Structure 1
Amino acid sequence: MLLIQYLNDDGERRVGILDGDAVAPLAGYASTLELARVAVRQGKGIAALAEAAAGADKASYEALASAGRVLPPLDHPDPAHCHVTGTGLTHLGSADARDAMHRKIAGDVETLSDSMKMFRLGVEGGKPAGERPGVQPEWFYKGDGDSVRASGQALEMPAFALDGGEEPEIAGLYLIGEDGQPWRLGFALGNEFSDHVTERQNYLYLAHSKLRQCGVGPALLVGELPEHVEGVSRVVRQDGTVRWQKPFVSGERNMSHSIANLEYHHFKYGLFQRPGDVHIHFFGTATLSFADEIRVEPGEIFEIEAPVFGPPLRNPLASVPSNFTTVKTL
């Protein structure tokens, strides 16, 4: 099942089931968060609640998208209670890239860079047997709910940035129950937008490079993530021609960590078990236009598509000034 959030003709928030181009609004629910809260309270699955509430009237997804009325698939009325985070060095990539990476990490561990050491740890211990936790992944913080952009909205590159590049990923979407229990609602396409030039200067600049906006959606895939997900990432010029494109793969078959292991090492912290909060957690990628020496220009469009998630995630790149001046003393 695919769910989207959107604004109806009267500008009111709605959540609906997406089937092809048809969107069936759910009676009694104005948001995915409301639906998830009821599901937790009643001990029912989101899909069952959504099916029971689906109305007969239908809206057109393309009409909603063209009007700019599609929202991120999960948000919180107080953006400070939405945590946006992620993990890296988790994906094995294509068969060729996988073989090359295994050859690269096969030698003496002391000769490897810190990144390759981290990747090797994941390959060796990211998918533990049973329920015990595996090795910790790389982890980073991106921002709160104010950093999330819906499909169609621009991803803003601040004036101090050295680059604005896409990272085609899958994100897990979560709600923390009133008892502190994390509940996964499902998964969504994501563009974990980053500054790769800053990161390449020194890996210790990773934290700076990740403090950017991100694209999420348009649809929430309810249920489990398929073990193998295939998609395409593109950079599209303003005239609609494709400047760059490359397939990407995700799902546990293509990862060095299990989803459960990534979730454990995120939600083990008490800060991320705060009742009522929502989380958007990116799972990583192995495909970047930056790796092919592409520098995306303002006005060009990032397009990330995978059939299992329905419509593509599209976000133009915009360059914006920084509004910071100086700190004042009280």
Structure 2
Amino acid sequence: MMVLTEYDYEGRSYFAVGAARSGAALRLYPLFEEQLAVLVRESGGDAAALTAGREPVDVPAGESAGLRPRVPCFPGHPGDALVGGFMMTHNVKVDETTPDQPTWFFKGLGDTLRLPGEPLDVPGGALAVCEEAEVVLVYVGDEETGRPRYLGYTFGNDLTDIGRFKAHNGHLSYAKLCSAGISPALHLGPPPALVTGETTIERDGTPVWKGTFTTGTDALYYDLDTITAGLFVHEALHRPGRVHYVYIGADRSSFHGGHTMLDGDRVTLDFRSHGVTLTHPLVWTAGPGR
């Protein structure tokens, strides 16, 4: 399984092939004028085609100053990225009211995405916030038809005001208007069948809640190809070059475990099965009730 990570380094854009390893040197390949999303699509994910004609730059271990990862396949402008997802997709959440096609929600444009270490914003009037450890599918609009084409997947935290949704299930669209965490690594290939990991929530440096999660296509009640096809049939989502980040739903969260999150809490999602960790502090913004 090939993994690509895009970086800004010394004023230029690059990408690395393979998972980054702590304490190891990093080989970067320059991006010229093209977007990584387009390069992945045109190369078919072939490593030789991806790197052909690109003189690599090696960043020695311990010399990472000026090296900053980017959101995977992020377009030239945040307005050309659309962040959304499906809710109530997992087997553990199915009941007699479960519809044939899950509810889709809009979370924001590209600037709602946050890389590890960056704070996740919570609306000031939020009622009860929860983390959601999820697989995130990445698509780019076809240059001719605009129809989204699958590139690969990554991992994320779909932070949600679940209290608002529980108080009024018609307010899902409001409940989702929190920032979203995302890993910088794009995994090429089909979405994973099984993803397991652990959530840790810290307050003032002390763990206050821990729990495990399971996700991936085997955990879904729905066939993933069917529900994504049912979403992307809509021409309103067709635009050449637009990048889509689709969060496919989550297992139970700290909210279901009885935990209440507060301003300043630090949330870590350890996707142990895939060697990916996302850590974000939570920051309540000004708003109603603040």
Q: TM-score range by the shorter chain?
A: 0.7 to 0.9
Change (3 A) 1:77 1:196: same
What's the offset of the Cα at 1:189? Answer: 1.0
What's the offset of the Cα at 1:174? Answer: 0.9
Change (3 A) 1:298 1:74: farther
Change (3 A) 1:302 1:270: same
Q: Secondary structure at the match of 2:165?
A: helix
1:220 corresponds to 2:183: no
- Counterparts of 1:36 and 1:12, CA distance in 2: 17
- RMSD, aligned CA: 2.7
**C-alpha contact (below 8 Å) 1:137/1:265 kept by paired residues:** no
- Counterparts of 1:46 and 1:272, CA distance in 2: 28
Amino acid at match of 1:199: F
Query: Mapping of 1:174-253 within 5 angstroms?
Result: 174-179=139-144, 180-239=146-205, 241-253=206-218
Tell me which protein shows more helix as a share of its residues. 1
What's the offset of the Cα at 1:273? Answer: 1.6
Structure 1 residues 62-82: Cα deviation after superposition (integer angstroms, max 9, x where no partner): 975x98933322322211111
Q: Which residue of 1 aligns with 2:285?
A: 320
Query: Which of these residues, 232, 240, 243, is aligned with residue 278 of structure 1?
Result: 243
What's the offset of the Cα at 1:243? Answer: 1.8
- Counterparts of 2:267 and 2:45, CA distance in 1: 33
Structure 1 residues 35-62: Cα deviation after superposition (integer angstroms, max 9, x where no partner): 3313434x532544445558362455x9
Change (3 A) 1:231 1:34: same
- Counterparts of 1:63 and 1:151, CA distance in 2: 20
- Counterparts of 1:46 and 1:176, CA distance in 2: 20
What's the offset of the Cα at 1:164? Answer: 3.0
Change (3 A) 1:68 1:173: same
Per mean C-alpha deviation after superposition, the further-off stretch among 300-309 and 78-87 is: 300-309
Query: Mapping of 1:54-203 within 5 angstroms?
Result: 55=56, 57-58=58-59, 69-93=68-92, 105=95, 116-118=96-98, 121=99, 135-179=100-144, 180-203=146-169
Q: Secondary structure at the match of 2:130?
A: coil
Query: Which of these residues, 306, 311, 315, is aligned with residue 271 of structure 2?
Result: 306
Query: Which of these residues, 250, 254, 260, is aligned with residue 295 of structure 1?
Result: 260
Change (3 A) 1:153 1:63: farther
What's the offset of the Cα at 1:192? Answer: 0.4
1:27 corresponds to 2:55: no
Q: Secondary structure at the match of 2:171?
A: helix
**C-alpha contact (below 8 Å) 1:71/1:150 kept by paired residues:** yes
Q: Which residue of 2 aligns with 1:112?
A: none
Change (3 A) 1:220 1:74: same
**C-alpha contact (below 8 Å) 1:85/1:280 kept by paired residues:** yes
Amino acid at match of 2:255: F
Amino acid at match of 1:44: G
- Provide structure 2 residue ranges, at least 5 long, that are not aligned to the other structure: none
Change (3 A) 1:63 1:24: closer
Among the aligned pairs, what percent are the same residue?
A: 27
- Counterparts of 2:67 and 2:283, CA distance in 1: 17
What's the offset of the Cα at 1:264? Answer: 0.6
Q: Secondary structure at the match of 1:245?
A: strand
What's the offset of the Cα at 1:182? Answer: 2.1
Structure (1 or 2) with the larger CA radius of gyration: 1
What's the offset of the Cα at 1:232? Answer: 1.6
**C-alpha contact (below 8 Å) 1:151/1:217 kept by paired residues:** yes
What's the offset of the Cα at 1:184? Answer: 1.5
- Counterparts of 1:144 and 1:285, CA distance in 2: 21
Structure 1 residues 81-123: Cα deviation after superposition (integer angstroms, max 9, x where no partner): 1111110111124xxxxxxx67xx4xxxxxxxxxx412xx4xx
Structure 1 residues 156-197: Cα deviation after superposition (integer angstroms, max 9, x where no partner): 112222233211111101111112242212111111011111
Q: Which residue of 2 aligns with 1:110?
A: none
**C-alpha contact (below 8 Å) 2:268/2:277 kept by paired residues:** yes
**C-alpha contact (below 8 Å) 1:14/1:25 kept by paired residues:** no
**C-alpha contact (below 8 Å) 2:29/2:57 kept by paired residues:** no
Q: Which residue of 2 aligns with 1:126?
A: none
- Counterparts of 1:90 and 1:48, CA distance in 2: 37
**C-alpha contact (below 8 Å) 1:46/1:222 kept by paired residues:** no
Q: Which residue of 1 aligns with 2:45?
A: 45
Amino acid at match of 1:74: C
Q: Secondary structure at the match of 2:129?
A: coil
